[in-house]
Amino acid sequence: CIKPKYPELALKRGYEGILKLKLRISTKGEVVDIKIIKSSGYTILDKSGITAAKNSRFYPLQKESTINLEYNLKLNR
């Protein structure tokens, strides 16, 4: 999985949160659908996580599958 890029605005404002997503993975290992299970509380962080998830690639599978993915979007202080 690709790690989300922390948006500059979120860094400046100190936004943090945990984003939980459900991904549907095709037999080719591509992400074909994403649903938010739990928002981080900030749209800007959610969008960053969704973009990272969309660009992630997985090993080819025998059948289409779903996985849950959690991004812990915390600032390193």
Model confidence, pTM: 0.90
Query: CB 46: neighbour CB atoms within 10 A?
Result: 20
Residue 46 in contact with residue 77, Cβ under 8 Å?
no
pLDDT band for position 75 (cuts 50, 70, 90): confident
pLDDT value of position 77? 60
Tell me: pLDDT of 67 over 70. yes
Local structure of 38: helix, strand or coil? strand
pLDDT band for position 73 (cuts 50, 70, 90): very high
8-47 pLDDT, tens digit each: 999 999 999 999 999 999 999 999 999 999 999 999 999 9
